[in-house]
Amino acid sequence: MQGLFITFEGIDGAGKSSHIDTLAQALRAAGRQVTLTREPGGTPLAEKLRAMLLHDAMDALTETLLVFAARRDHLRVVIEPALARGDVVLCDRFTDATFAYQGVGRGFDLQVLSYMERLAQTGIALEPDLMRNPDLTLWFDVPPEVAAERLAAARTPDRFEAEGVEFFTRVARGYADRAAGATQRFARLDGAQPRAQVAAQMLAAVAARGWLQGATP
Residue 114 in marked binding region: no
- Known binder of ligand: residue 16? yes
Is 78's pLDDT higher than 70?
yes
Q: Is 164 annotated as a binding residue?
A: no
Please indicate if the annotation marks 10 as binding a ligand.
Answer: yes
pLDDT at 15: 82
State how beta strands 4-9 and 88-92 pair: parallel
pLDDT higher than 60, residue 216: no
Q: What is the pLDDT of residue 131?
A: 96
pLDDT at residue 51 tops 60: yes
Residue 12 is labelled as binding a ligand: yes
Task: Kindly state the average pLDDT of the residues 105-111.
Answer: 96
For range 100-107, the mean pLDDT: 96
For residue range 148-193, what is the model confidence (pLDDT) as tens digits? Answer: 777 776 667 778 878 888 999 999 999 999 999 999 999 999 999 9
> pLDDT digit string (tens) for 1-37?
899 999 999 998 878 888 999 999 999 999 999 999 9
**Cβ neighbourhood burial of 122 (10 Å; 0-12, 13-18, 19+):** middle
- In this predicted structure, what is the pLDDT of residue 158? 79
Mean pLDDT of 137-145: 93
Is 123 labeled as ligand-binding? Answer: no
Q: Do the annotations mark residue 17 as ligand-binding?
A: yes
pLDDT exceeds cutoff 80 at 215: no
pLDDT at 217: 46
pTM score: 0.94
Contacts of residues 121-127 at CB distance under 8 Å and 24 or more positions apart, as own/partner, are: 121/71, 121/72, 121/75, 121/95, 124/72, 124/75, 124/76, 124/80, 125/80, 125/83, 126/80, 126/84
